[in-house]
Structure 1
Amino acid sequence: MVSRSGRSPSVTLADVASHAQVSLATASRVINGSTRQVQPDLRDRVLASSRLLGYVVDEQAQSMARGASQTVALVVGDIADPYFSAIAAGVSAAASRLRLTVIITTTGPGGLAEHEAVAALRPKRPLAILLAASRHLDSAGEELLLEELAGYEARGGRVSFIGADTGGSAARVVRVQNRAGARELARSLIHLGYTRFSILGGPSDLATARARVDGFAEGLASGGIAASSVEIVHGPLTRDGGHAAVLELQGLNHPGACVFAVTDVMAVGAMTALISQGRMPGRDIAVAGFDDIPLLQDVRPALTTVALPLFDIGVQALELALADPSPDSSSPEADDVRGVVRLRESTPPL
């Protein structure tokens, strides 16, 4: 049976790619058109598989692949979070240079799940979807997300991820070295003389938060800090989450104590809570964060953190999504983003 659009409902572009033993991106470039040439042997295989399977070209997919859409979509956890807003600023600046419009969708508390966000975006036919929200360590949710993205890519869309790797067919990832950055921060704090650590770990089911917690723990272990000297409290990745989490800690009065929050936003909330209890960050207890969000310019004492080029990450994510792959790869690659430890007033040497 053939649908009104002329397409056999049982044959997708993904089927053609699988039969031809090429990537979905390669099959899309052959079927839907691209400015980048595909190797003749790969092109012949895709066309032969298309004819054999009875695949019918989707006109909407062709227009999307050729750039008819003038929008790109950015999926973030919470646009009010300075981490995401800084990335969004980079995406918007890069899009503006290309005369593209940016649609922003959130997946934070009260928002859509990522797969639901992608499903809602697909009818809008964005040229690319950029996913900046942290991956959930939930295999069922991840499978649903990858299914939605596969359908979107099959119609000519482009995808890029920020932060963690993914098993998706696009494999366009701006990889942020969260684990390595947290590990280096821990070693730097030990070098300053700190011996007792508490971690505000954020949600336990978020990949970014987990990577930062694990990296920090690895750094402490390499410096001889026993696990029994480390206290971990989980909570929302928000200012209020950090405020509430620090109040649960038991070891704040221990000499050489330092609180590490997996995001600067949580660290700022923790600092406010400590001050309300009569403890001055940087004098009575050390505090460190991660990200180096712009807001820190107005925070006192100046917060020790792992600095990430958030604006540049946003630019890179859009450029990566829209780039054609290199000749020897089905998808373009981005350089890993490494954080830089910034030691400031909130963690003075002991």
Structure 2
Amino acid sequence: MTKEAAPFRLIDVATRAGVSLATASRSLSGSDGVSKERAEYVRGVALQMGYVANAHARSLAGGAASTVGLIVHEIADPYFTEIASGVLRIATRQSRTVQISQSQRTPEGELLQIRALRAQRVGAIILAGSGYTDAQTEKQLEAELGAFQASGGRVAVIGRHQITADAVLPDNRAGGLTIASHLIELGHRRIVVLAGPADLNTVSDRLAGIMDAFADAGITSDTVTVIHTPFTREGGLTGTDQALHDCPAATAIIALNDVMAIGSLSALRRRGIRIPEDVSVSGFDDITVAADVGPSLTTIRIPMTRIGEQAMEMVLAAKVSRPRRKKTGHELVIRDSTGPVRT
């Protein structure tokens, strides 16, 4: 009976790469103190050897835990899928494991998932998704994350203003201003906004940017109608049906995410309403399928994959005395779903 070969150890990788044991450990864990070129070389040697890190031994040795917890509102939402893709891309480069959970779009769900990840002793938590307008809700989340950080855990948040942690902040207010300005320049004044849940900071920020655009143009915003529906395709369908009933004179619809905008396109097509000849439709985020729907969707591009990468890089970077804040920027992507107001 053939005896299986023993798995390679870290000392074997160090010997093969011609570096010290400490350098090999730092290279494979992504720690500071090793040049980028040397770290990449050591990781390449380890990959060729088929070396698999012993996560339990690493934690016993006091090194950074190899598992990062990622909490999203809903993984089926393309916005969060693309963020998760960015997180996983960096995790793969740094030989880390990512555990993904979802909150079902509730603050109670977020608290539950944070506590579950803490119980599983992950080394870092990335909390992705809008914060809540209710200050008490955010305080509870911050207290839970603060206790995790006090015990040595690392935290990065995406789209949260108030939580004291490293943060990646999507360009929501500025993006709202840009998309509304685009429609105003096309002559639209009677606009319906499909705005998602009213308790989300993302919604209030994007709405504020839309109102900024009207103020900057010297136009009263009382012709803007805001309809709050779920951040889903079904929310776009029902919101558009309500808009057509309540605001028959509207010439444009701004959906505050692309999934809702796609639902809006479907609702309009079912009624035989031409896009953009009768009603212009725009979205927000620029998910992958936005260019492929019919008509292709005008939207605000937020770099979701890069957002995930930045959040992962933050929790793997050296600690700093003050939380880091990174704005994402945005880009207006004009496609076929918007056009000049009908005469």
TM range (shorter): 0.7 to 0.9
Q: Structure 1 residues 64 and 320, CA, compared in 2 at 3 Å: closer, same or farther?
A: farther
Aligned-partner Cα distance in 2 for 1:346–1:240: 19
Aligned-partner Cα distance in 2 for 1:64–1:217: 54
Q: Structure 1 residues 282 and 296, CA, compared in 2 at 3 Å: closer, same or farther?
A: same
Aligned-partner Cα distance in 2 for 1:282–1:190: 14
Please report the RMSD computed on the Cα atoms of aligned residues, expressed in angstroms. 2.3
Aligned-partner Cα distance in 1 for 2:206–2:312: 25
Secondary structure in structure 1 of the residue aligned to 2:327: coil
**Residue 190 (structure 1) aligned to one of 167, 177, 184:** 184
Query: How far is 1:252 from its partner?
Result: 5.2
Query: How far is 1:193 from its partner?
Result: 1.8
**Residue 232 (structure 2) aligned to one of 220, 235, 238:** 238
Aligned-partner Cα distance in 1 for 2:222–2:330: 27
Aligned-partner Cα distance in 2 for 1:111–1:85: 20
**Residue 343 (structure 1) aligned to one of 329, 334, 338:** 334
Q: Give the AA of the match of 1:340.
A: E
**Residue 254 (structure 1) aligned to one of 249, 265, 268:** 249
Query: How far is 1:316 from its partner?
Result: 0.6
Aligned-partner Cα distance in 1 for 2:129–2:326: 19
The answer to whether structure 1 residue 277 and structure 2 residue 293 are counterparts is no
**Residue 330 (structure 1) aligned to one of 303, 321, 336:** 321
Aligned-partner Cα distance in 1 for 2:107–2:140: 16
Aligned-partner Cα distance in 2 for 1:79–1:278: 33
Aligned-partner Cα distance in 1 for 2:255–2:209: 13
2:19 aligned residue: none
1:14 aligned residue: none
Query: How far is 1:179 from its partner?
Result: 0.3
The answer to whether structure 1 residue 222 and structure 2 residue 216 are counterparts is yes
Identity level (%): 39
Can you give the 5+ residue segments of structure 2 that lack an aligned partner in the other structure? 1-30, 34-55
The answer to whether structure 1 residue 102 and structure 2 residue 98 are counterparts is yes
Q: Deviations over 1:123-181 (max 9, x none)?
A: 1111210111211112222121111111111121100011232232x3x0111110011
Q: Give the AA of the match of 1:287.
A: V
The answer to whether structure 1 residue 72 and structure 2 residue 99 are counterparts is no
Q: Structure 1 residues 318 and 192, CA, compared in 2 at 3 Å: closer, same or farther?
A: same
Secondary structure in structure 1 of the residue aligned to 2:198: coil
Size of the aligned set, in residue pairs, is 287
Aligned-partner Cα distance in 2 for 1:149–1:80: 25
Q: Deviations over 1:243-270 (max 9, x none)?
A: 1111111465427x11001000110011
CA contact under 8 A between 1:64 and 1:127: conserved in structure 2? Answer: no
CA contact under 8 A between 1:64 and 1:156: conserved in structure 2? Answer: no
CA contact under 8 A between 2:171 and 2:302: conserved in structure 1? Answer: no
Moved more, 297-306 or 102-111: 102-111
Aligned-partner Cα distance in 2 for 1:65–1:331: 27
Query: How far is 1:210 from its partner?
Result: 1.2
Q: Structure 1 residues 109 and 131, CA, compared in 2 at 3 Å: closer, same or farther?
A: closer
Can you give the 5+ residue segments of structure 1 that lack an aligned partner in the other structure? 1-33, 37-59
Moved more, 124-133 or 110-119: 110-119
Aligned-partner Cα distance in 2 for 1:298–1:251: 30
Query: How far is 1:304 from its partner?
Result: 0.7
1:158 aligned residue: 154
TM-score (norm 2): 0.78
Secondary structure in structure 1 of the residue aligned to 2:222: helix
CA contact under 8 A between 1:252 and 1:285: conserved in structure 2? Answer: no
Secondary structure in structure 1 of the residue aligned to 2:212: helix
Aligned-partner Cα distance in 1 for 2:316–2:127: 14
The answer to whether structure 1 residue 123 and structure 2 residue 119 are counterparts is yes
Q: Structure 1 residues 67 and 175, CA, compared in 2 at 3 Å: closer, same or farther?
A: farther
The answer to whether structure 1 residue 141 and structure 2 residue 137 are counterparts is yes
Aligned-partner Cα distance in 1 for 2:161–2:119: 26
CA contact under 8 A between 1:65 and 1:156: conserved in structure 2? Answer: no
